[in-house]
Amino acid sequence: MKIAIIGGSIAGLSTALRLQNSGHEVSVWERRNPTSSGGFGMLLDQKTLTRLSSLGLRLDPQLQKVTKYEAHDIHSGRVVRRGLNGSFAIQRSTLIDHLKNEIKHHSLNYDFEFTHFEPNSGNNVQRACFSNGHKIDADLFLGADGVRSSVRNLQVPGPDLTPVKTVEVVGMADMNSLPAKSRNTFKKYIHQGKGIAFGIVPCAGDKVIWYFQIDNNKWPQSLGSNHQRNQWLSEELSHWPHQVRRIAMSSRLENTHLWRTTDRDLPLQFHRGNTLLIGDAAHPLLTFTSQGVGSSIEDAVILGDLLDEYESSPHQNLDDCLGEFSAIRKPILEGHLKNGRDLQQRFLGQRPHCIDTYPVSA
């Protein structure tokens, strides 16, 4: 089958690889340029790693084992410690590069910004059109264009994104800013009731990812200009433990990234006609669950298996096959959505909260 994928990040690339492995004629259309993978890093669980190796990726040397979780309550000094089973951290650029290396070079197209489909009425579309005038015909179109997906807006609009209640300021520091004994520990420092927490995730490539998780209603400065935010963070850091200050101040605050975290209820179906949404375009999740990356990779594997079945059974139609994708994925994603919202409410102080309830996730 000829399949065009709009968006070349984790969901788009892992799906391209899975479908290429089944012999489909796949193309990926990404609006960024090929050198700008961006981002910092992510925690992967054992299931996600197994799925990535089923796609043919060998990531072992690029992974940092994260074996412990430690939550510090800044106010009371209480510390909760737990063992972590099968968690690994990887730099985002490393994962993206590995995926790209496995996909046929000519399938990857950069600097192509999707604008619309033709025809623009009816369920099925024939071609995707890009801002540079290029058009591509395909049998199946996959919208892997992220949280604010244009494919979704055109083909499967609604429900709306929820208002942003928490933001994350994410940065990356060198591993030597972390004491040797902490290099396998995911730490979280929590200011109960203050609407602010600090996370540290040791990552492969001698890097540490750190992030402030912030209630943006309590801390509107977090949404100010870069300059205002950095001034506020520098001042705020002076009230935090030495370890936190050392990591955040060892990297330049100007190089941090602000995430406005949001989610949305699931649509009835992830597809309309021959267009299917995958990854964050289909089901953005709050960062509390740390399931965004794993869910995108799970989409890739499940869709690949369903399309294999569809191709081998002459009586099945594409609509049923894509409908089956929603039927399998929605109950799992409902669980992640609910979990993320529950954890967010606890963080915002809208539900009883104690440090033991924090998720073992970034």
Ligand X SMILES: Cc1cc2nc3c(=O)[nH]c(=O)nc-3n(C[C@H](O)[C@H](O)[C@H](O)COP(=O)(O)OP(=O)(O)OC[C@H]3O[C@@H](n4cnc5c(N)ncnc54)[C@H](O)[C@@H]3O)c2cc1C
**Which of the residues 286 through 325 are near ligand X (CB under 6 A)?**
292-293, 296
Q: Angle at CA 159, nearest 5°, toward 280 and 297?
A: 20
The one among 19, 42, 140, 142 contacting ligand X by CB under 6 A:
42
| 8-16, 226-234, 235-243, 322-330 -> range binding ligand X (CB under 6 A) | 8-16
User: Taking the C-alpha atoms of 161, 279, 304 and 130 in order, what is their torsion angle to the nearest 10 degrees?
Assistant: 90
Smallest gap, in angstroms, from Cβ of residue 73 to ligand X? Answer: 25
- Joined together, the tokens standing for residue 167 give 């933001």
Q: Is 92 a residue that touches ligand X (CB under 6 A)?
A: yes
The one among 5, 19, 28, 40 contacting ligand X by CB under 6 A:
40
Residue 241: cis peptide before it, omega within 30 degrees of 0: no
Number of residues near ligand X (by CB under 6 A): 30
Closer to ligand X at the Cβ: 32 or 218? 32
- C-alpha distances in Å from residue 127, one per residue of 5, 22, 216, 275, 334: 12, 23, 41, 11, 32
Q: Is 146 a residue that touches ligand X (CB under 6 A)?
A: yes
Please name every residue paired with 208 in a beta bridge, in sequence order, or none if there are none. Answer: 173, 202
Strands 64-73 and 185-191: parallel
Smallest gap, in angstroms, from Cβ of residue 287 to ligand X? Answer: 7
Site string for ligand X, 93-132 (x = CB under 6 A): --------------------xx------------------
Among 269, 281, 284, CA closest to 164:
284
Please check whether residue 76 is in contact with residue 194, taking contact to mean a CB–CB distance below 8 angstroms: no
Smallest gap, in angstroms, from Cβ of residue 6 to ligand X? Answer: 5
Smallest gap, in angstroms, from Cβ of residue 67 to ligand X? Answer: 20
Q: Is 144 a residue that touches ligand X (CB under 6 A)?
A: yes
